[in-house]
């Protein structure tokens, strides 16, 4: 299928949510349940002070991350899924949800965890570089960045592999790769701030 050449804008996602409030079946698919479990298990630390989740959609992963964070800001480009996310996380005082078009917009303040789950490949290469700069400036010493990307076919500006590789390269010496894993239909990368004193990963890069 022909690949899009521009970063997907808010109108693209607004149109998707008009036709389906959960277009990627975040709340019901076995793929998503497995991906969430793998993501949480891969976090190097048991708890984080302030997390930032980019592309939270209806808040399913947000709710799970909230149990590992003192505070979490979850943002999405579209307002419709945020309504559902606010309902889903209404009983969690440590969760804040905002509409934001990243990397054009970016929240204030540092964070020690940034989660980019199935997001970066919506951006063109130039915007991936801008996103990496934003993350690098926000990440505190000892912090982590978690990337998750679908590796199947799409018409997005980048493939999952391209998105992860471009982002990691653009982060430069700010981070080191703590672990990379390939699972069924997705790739997971955990990055560690270079000043962090994390244990060595249990395993090297793995493929299923």
**Which CATH number is 30-193 given?**
3.40.50.150
In sequence order, what are the residues at sequence separation of 6 or more whose Cβ sits closer than 8 angstroms to the Cβ of residue 158? 120, 121, 123, 124, 125, 128, 166
Q: Report the DSSP pairing between strands 186-193 and 139-150.
A: antiparallel
Determine the pLDDT at residue 109.
94
In order of 25, 34, 43, 56, 78, the CA distances from 28 in angstroms are 5, 11, 23, 16, 20
- Full pLDDT tens readout for the chain, 208 residues: 678 999 999 999 999 999 888 888 889 999 999 999 999 999 999 999 999 999 999 999 999 999 999 999 999 999 999 999 999 999 999 999 999 999 999 999 999 999 999 999 999 999 999 999 999 999 999 999 999 999 999 999 999 999 999 999 999 999 999 999 999 899 999 999 987 544 444 444 554 4
pLDDT in tens, 133-190: 999 999 999 999 999 999 999 999 999 999 999 999 999 999 999 999 999 899 999 9
Token digits of residue 153? 């076919």
Determine the pLDDT at residue 1.
67
Place of tokens 């917009």: 105
Could you tell me if residue 55 is left (phi over 0), alpha (psi between -120 and 50 degrees) or otherwise beta? Answer: left
């Amino acid at each position: 299928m022909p690949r899009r050449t521009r970063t997907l804008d808010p109108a693209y996602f607004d149109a998707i949510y008009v036709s389906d409030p959960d277009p990627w079946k975040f709340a019901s698919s076995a793929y998503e349940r497995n991906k969430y479990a793998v993501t949480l298990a891969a976090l190097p630390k048991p708890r984080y002070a302030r997390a930032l989740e980019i592309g939270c959609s209806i808040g399913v992963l947000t709710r799970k991350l909230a149990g590992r964070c003192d505070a979490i800001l979850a943002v999405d480009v579209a307002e419709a899924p945020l309504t559902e996310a606010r309902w889903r996380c209404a009983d969690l005082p440590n969760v804040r949800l905002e509409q934001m078009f990243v990397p054009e917009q970016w929240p204030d303040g540092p964070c020690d965890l940034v989660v980019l789950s199935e997001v970066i490949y919506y951006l063109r290469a130039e915007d991936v570089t801008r996103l990496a700069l934003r993350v690098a400036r926000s990440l505190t010493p000892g912090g982590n960045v978690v990337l998750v990307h679908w590796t199947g076919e799409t018409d997005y500006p980048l493939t999952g592999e391209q998105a992860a590789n471009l982002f990691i390269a653009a982060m430069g010496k700010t981070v080191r790769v703590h672990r990379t894993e390939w699972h069924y239909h997705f790739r997971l990368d955990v990055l560690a701030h270079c000043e962090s004193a994390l244990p060595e990963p249990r395993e090297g890069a793995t493929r299923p």
